[in-house]
Chains A and B, each alone.
Chain A
Amino acid sequence: MSQPQQRVGSDGDAELVSRVQQGDIEAFDKLVVKYEKKIFRLARNITSNQEDAEDVLQETFLKAYSHLGGFQGNSRFYTWLVRIAVNESLMKLRKRKSDRTVSMDEGVDTGEEIVVREVAVWEDNPEQRHSQTEIRAILDQAISSLKPALRTVFVLRDIEELSTEETAQLLGLSVPAVKSRLLRARLQLREKLTRFFKRKGDDVFAYL
């Protein structure tokens, strides 16, 4: 997790944004093509639903276009876009789970011990032992089983590779809260994946 990937590609965004602000529609197309894949992936990971993710994708770019006039350029265009997409995704979650409130502060930062239940060695190169489709299904299931408050932090930090500070700012959380949620998210995912990837025959293996 050395250098976030999207930093490398964010060059030239400021110029494209100012061209859109002057009415150049093709410049907006370029921004869409540049970021649609990332925004779709983000929406899919947070909503865990293909249909919702497509709605989020469309709403994000339509809102970005409508509000681009007011975009000051004091944050990165991509971070600004991600902020819209995260808000749209959380709105989708709230709608879908109207019986349960989905909030970014579900008390996950208090009273919950950080625990490790399962300690089992994984098989070597699990990603080569299962088909891509299989792995994708396992990861989708694992990530969608996290609480939204943990899932969102994991997606922004470990998949979209935003910094801790950016994630904190974007979600309105403190830096320690982001760190604590990321640790919980990583450990919970580790437990879930262990069920699939642990080395066969290690079930009764105990370290002394």
Chain B
Amino acid sequence: MSLLTCKDFLLALNEYLDETEDAALRREVEEHIEECPNCWVVFDTTKKTLQVFKGIQSQDIPEDVHRRLMERIHSRLMERRARAQANDKAGDKDEQERKQ
């Protein structure tokens, strides 16, 4: 005899799908879905929902998106390097002036 109500089952569904280590909760959920066909469908289709999402997500980044990203990063790096070199030169000049 299952002790969970359908509402309890819904509230426990995530923990169950996320493979909770709470053995008592696992057992209660399993007993409930064995007896309640509606909740079994909800459990099964929610599990499949997650599977479909996980299965489809291994999409590669489009080549042109990757290329534009690298271009933008490198142009920013060049700007920074140029600025840093300009500052260094200015610094050297200051030092030379101080020496004189």
Contact = CB atoms under 8 A, between A and B. Distances in A.
A159 B13 contact: no
B76 interface: yes
Contact of A54 (B56, B59, B68): B68
Nearest to A140: B56
Interface in B15-35: 17-19
A116 to B, nearest CB: 6
B99 interface: no
B50 A119 contact: no
B51 to A, nearest CB: 8
A136 to B, nearest CB: 6
A76 interface: no
B57 A126 contact: no
Contacts of B7: 114
Nearest to B76: A62
Contact of B54 (A28, A41, A136, A158): A158
Interface of B: 7, 10-11, 13-14, 17-19, 37-38, 41-42, 44-46, 48-57, 59-61, 65-66, 68-70, 72-73, 76-77
A61 B10 contact: no
Contacts, number: 109
Nearest to A116: B42
Interface of A: 1-2, 25, 28-29, 32, 36-37, 40-41, 54, 57-58, 61-62, 65, 114, 116, 119-122, 126-127, 132, 135-136, 139, 158-159, 179, 182-183, 186-187, 189-190, 193-194, 197, 207
B60 to A, nearest CB: 7
A158 B54 CA distance: 8
A159 to B, nearest CB: 6
A42 B14 CA distance: 22
Contacts of B48: 122, 126, 193, 197
